[in-house]
Amino acid sequence: MASVTMVSLLLEAADKLVEERPIGSSAFKRRAVSTAYYAVFHALARLCADTLLQPADHTADEYARIYRSLDHGSLRTAFSKEPLCSGEAFRKIGDLVVPLQSERHRADYLPPVRNIFSQIEVKKLMGQARMAVSEIESLKLRDRRTLATCLLFRPRQP
């Protein structure tokens, strides 16, 4: 369900950053971590838009509005609340996405630090991103709806 083009190309770009980087380049490893996280983020945004809109019954503007509604902060919060924190499929995704998001913050916002990520650590995070995408793509329709609504709409207090 995730965009084969966007998601797979982002994961491929992360691979290339790690494989073809100049020796000792922390910048390339940081970029790889960030890019891997964004592959997962785009997989989730696509899931939300594809799940909440009928394929032949929407405009490009409607699709973009839902796709762009996913927010990084609310993503973290949603995985810490019911039903996402208790459903097995959701918990698997959350356990992969939330730490990856934290590492993306380190990669993008910490001042330059030599070897902030080891090669092994970067490859592990990229593996987590691939697992998260796989878990997202394997969700059943009912779980996709639950995930999309939990990610996009905050619950109101009675």
Q: What share of the chain is helix, strand, coil (3-state, %, to 5)?
A: 70, 0, 30
pLDDT of residue 156 exceeding 90, the answer is: no
Overall domain count for the chain: 1
Mean pLDDT, range 89-114, rounded to an integer: 96
Mean pLDDT, range 48-67, rounded to an integer: 89
Whole-angstrom distance, CA of residue 14 vs CA of residue 109 = 18
Task: Identify the CATH number of the domain in which residue 28 sits.
Answer: 1.20.120
Tens digits of residue pLDDT in 7-17: 999 999 999 99
Mean pLDDT, range 105-124, rounded to an integer: 93
What pLDDT does residue 24 have? 62
Identify whether 61 is part of a domain.
yes
Whole-angstrom distance, CA of residue 69 vs CA of residue 147 = 14
To the nearest 10°, report the CA torsion of 3, 67, 150, 158. -170
Domain span at residue 125 reads 4-152
Identify whether 87 is part of a domain.
yes
Tens digits of residue pLDDT in 19-45: 887 766 889 999 999 999 999 999 999
**Residue 21, Cβ neighbours under 10 Å: how many?**
17
Q: Is 0.85 topped by the overall pTM?
A: yes
**Residue 91: CB partners within 8 Å, gap ≥ 6?**
84, 85
Identify whether 158 is part of a domain.
no
Among 34, 29, 7, 2, residue whose Cα is nearest residue 16: 29
Mean pLDDT, range 140-148, rounded to an integer: 97
Identify whether 25 is part of a domain.
yes
Identify whether 57 is part of a domain.
yes
Q: What's the chain's average pLDDT? A: 92
Identify whether 126 is part of a domain.
yes
